[in-house]
Structure 1
Amino acid sequence: MTKTIKLQNADLVPVGNFLGKLKLKGKASRGRTKLIKLLEDKNKEYNEDREEVRDPYFEHDDKGKRVTKDNAYVLKDPTKGADLNKELVDLAKEDAVIEFTEYSDKFRALYDALNAYSYELADADATLYDLLMDELENNFKKEND
């Protein structure tokens, strides 16, 4: 059975940064490392998609490079800034699906370690923990039932 984690594009970096701060050992730490790498790969795709969305909105010189003024790219049509922002927000809300079947045993160890995590989490870290645990539970709780 294929195992996946689904996060919004905007959550890829925060989840990766959160994972990097955790105190984990052994197989759980290796699972974290594998997940961070997969998050980085998805974030690279997201950044490439962002550039594809942004590029048509900006002026380009005769060499195809974006024109800048005051350290900012110049919009072809200044009235289209809101359209660009809406497209970027929509892209940030799109789901990034990470398939991890081949790392299932390491991710299971990560899930078990996070489930038993004894350190206090607050604010954004608590929210990210909950988001990640929901996704991991979707894969591993079914195995226990």
Structure 2
Amino acid sequence: MQVTIKNAHLGQATSLLFDLALKGKQSRHRTKFIKLLAERSKEVEEQRKQLAEEHAKKDDEGKAIINDEKYDIPDQEAFKKDYQELLDELLIIEGGDAQGMLKTVKKVLDECDKEFSGQEAVVYDYLCDQFEKGDGAE
């Protein structure tokens, strides 16, 4: 089994899974899955800062100029394009030690009886789709 999640959906997926009432094995596997998402979210944020620094105006010493805790980025379009590419990249979780965890989280999503609406419903649908696509990749 292999599951892919776009960087853009990491935070929302984490929140949705975090709020589910689970116990035992399901809770432990959900927590392991959330840790993987959180680690990737941290990497994405570090990469976003690197992109901002690369696109920012530089001072005489070659350091990025920061005004009001924001990078001074003259070409916002170029930065947004690079940042969107980062958000479109995929986190791939597959096989090995992750196999049991992925099957458990898929089961949790399949059997979830919580009602979702709005953005939560969209994220739930996205996660279910990703797990269904990954189910054949064993």
- Give the counterpart of 1:88 among 83, 89, 95: 83
Q: TM-score, normalised by structure 1?
A: 0.80
1:88/1:36 CA distance change after superposition, 3 Å: same
Check whether the contact 2:57–2:72 (CA below 8 A) recurs between aligned residues.
yes
Structure number with greater Rg is 1
- Give the counterpart of 2:100 among 105, 110, 113: 105
Determine if the alignment matches structure 1 residue 70 to structure 2 residue 77.
no
SS class of match (1:49) = helix
Q: CA deviation at 1:38?
A: 0.6
Quick one: distance in 2 between partners of 1:72 and 1:106? Answer: 39
Indicate the residue corresponding to 2:11 in structure 1.
13
Check whether the contact 2:2–2:135 (CA below 8 A) recurs between aligned residues.
no
> What are the ranges of 5 or more consecutive residues in structure 1 without an aligned counterpart?
none
Check whether the contact 1:67–1:74 (CA below 8 A) recurs between aligned residues.
yes
> What are the ranges of 5 or more consecutive residues in structure 2 without an aligned counterpart?
none
Q: TM-score, normalised by structure 2?
A: 0.83
1:88/1:137 CA distance change after superposition, 3 Å: same
- Count of residue pairs brought into register by the alignment: 138
Check whether the contact 2:109–2:128 (CA below 8 A) recurs between aligned residues.
yes
Percent of residue pairs identical: 31
Q: CA deviation at 1:120?
A: 1.0
Quick one: distance in 1 between partners of 2:134 and 2:128? Answer: 10
